[in-house]
Structure 1
Amino acid sequence: MTDNRPDVGEDAFLGGRLRLYQPSSGHRAGHDAMLLAAATPGRPGDRIVDFGAGVGAAGLAVATRIDNVDLVLVERDETLAVLARRNAVLNSLAARVCILDIAAEAETFARVGLGPDTADVVLMNPPFNDAVRHRPSPDQGRRAAHVAEPSGLGIWTHAARRMLKSGGVLSLIWRSDGLAEVLSALDRGFGDIAIRPVHPDPRKPAIRVLVRAVKGSRAPLRLCPDLMLSDEMGRPTREAQVVLVGGQALAPTGLR
């Protein structure tokens, strides 16, 4: 009998406070997931839904920081969803895992308890590489996690808008050169959009943007201070360490 289960390793995040089982090859959670978690707001009792959760990295990192949240991890890949469940148990965190495609109809979401206007916060790290501009990975899992389909971001933000309560918050991370796509996707139904560019160091352009938007808000867009991951000498900045190792939220001067 052949065992088709993937080879799995265990990795530490947030200074060892979060441990994750994840496949040893293919797409693996890293800094993007922890940055997204740090940019995601929440309070005890909030329903927080992680779209495209993978092994649960970003959502579980949020739950590590905020006690007693109603965390739902949504992932279409059954293998990753099984690992997400294992990771919740490994870290003694309460989370419900739903095997579900983000593009599914509202009725499908509702059947698993994710009806319209039921979430306080949605966070997501959608596939964001354009297949025309970026050579897709031969690894199927890595390709699915990184390469965006046409209109993919619009589908994800539509699903988030449908699920969020009025005044609910969408938090996402995207590649910096695709910011126009993000703003276009958020044009309907969202306001109070806050954008924070993320740079490898002060000498290099931003590689990511952290974006937060509020459903139904009419507040204007805000451009927040840049986040530098390293200084000119290549040493991690204090703010990056506070987020990536300390597991704290981004400072109020950034995304509030």
Structure 2
Amino acid sequence: MRTEPFARADLSFDAFLGGRLEIAQPRAGYRAGIDPVLLAAAVPAQAGETLLDLGCGAGVAALCVAARVPGVRLAGLEMQPAYAALACENAAHNGAEMEVLTGDVAAMPDALRQRQFDHVIANPPYFDRGAGTPAADAGREGALGEALPLADWVAAALRRCRPGGHVCVIHRAERLADLLAAMRGSVEVLPLIPRRGRAARLVLVRARKGGRAGLRLCDGWLLHEGPRHAGDGENLTRSTASVLRDAAPLPFCR
């Protein structure tokens, strides 16, 4: 766990959403990639609604939602004090208001336990440390190593979501069965396909709390063009580039 604040020299300042956001991230430690941006794009938020990001890190996912939907009121919960402070700084730097609390998803501060939100999002740690090697950096390990069971993350998100609101989670495709077992309400699954003909590595799972519709398995979202990476270009599909660069929403079943 990273407790001491980051020195400015230890940070990089990275553009997200085509420069709409500038996010400070540690040069060594957990660094956000495209996963929180895709998660944010899947949130069906509207102006005036509330959003809670569980395990918000440096605030990328929540701030991406706010950049796409001005007027969304943001809150975040982050266990590592250094990252919680960074999320506050990133929100202020980007002209957003975001209430960030330091605490554990398994034992939330009272200030959150008394509230519910229109949207609750999470990008839980992906890796089971019972079957892997911890990261050398304490902050990176805190973000990537699964200490709290995935089912507990989902249960916490559902408790903080108001009836009729949405819970949205991004995770590894191999954990889909665990996610579906924990989710409640009307559930949609969107596989994220790296390239045509390849298996999904990640899934987005979105549930409407209290909904009664059956499970919907949506057509996979293709991330990259072509059968393999060629040259120095990132060769994103046009739709994915629009999500990552232009703050476009990421639709589920159409």
TM normalised by structure 1 equals: 0.90
Deviates more, 1:15-24 or 1:151-160: 151-160
- Does the aligned pair in 2 maintain the 1:197–1:225 contact within 8 Å? yes
> Which of these residues, 146, 150, 155, is aligned with residue 152 of structure 2?
155
1:91 aligns with 2:85: no
Aligned residue in 2 for 1:47: 50
Matches within 5 A, 1:142-221: 142-149=140-147, 152-186=149-183, 190-221=184-215
Structure 1 unaligned spans of 5+: none
- Does the aligned pair in 1 maintain the 2:6–2:26 contact within 8 Å? no
> Which of these residues, 203, 218, 222, is aligned with residue 216 of structure 2?
222
The structural deviation recorded for 1:255 is: 5.0
Aligned residue in 1 for 2:130: 132
Q: Runs of 4+ in structure 1 displaced over 4 angstroms?
A: none
User: Percent same amino acid among aligned pairs?
Assistant: 38
TM normalised by structure 2 equals: 0.90
SS of 2:246's equivalent?
Answer: coil
CA distance in 2, matches of 1:142, 1:213: 28
Structure 2 unaligned spans of 5+: 230-234
Deviation readout 1:107-138 (Å, 9 max, x if unpaired): x3xx325524x211000001121223433322
- Does the aligned pair in 2 maintain the 1:35–1:243 contact within 8 Å? yes
Question: RMSD between aligned alpha carbons?
Answer: 1.7
The alignment covers a number of residue pairs equal to 243
The structural deviation recorded for 1:192 is: 1.3
CA distance in 2, matches of 1:182, 1:113: 23
- Does the aligned pair in 1 maintain the 2:154–2:179 contact within 8 Å? no
- Does the aligned pair in 2 maintain the 1:164–1:215 contact within 8 Å? yes
Amino acid at match of 1:163: R
Aligned residue in 1 for 2:114: 115
CA distance in 2, matches of 1:64, 1:173: 19
SS of 1:27's equivalent?
Answer: coil
- Does the aligned pair in 1 maintain the 2:5–2:82 contact within 8 Å? no
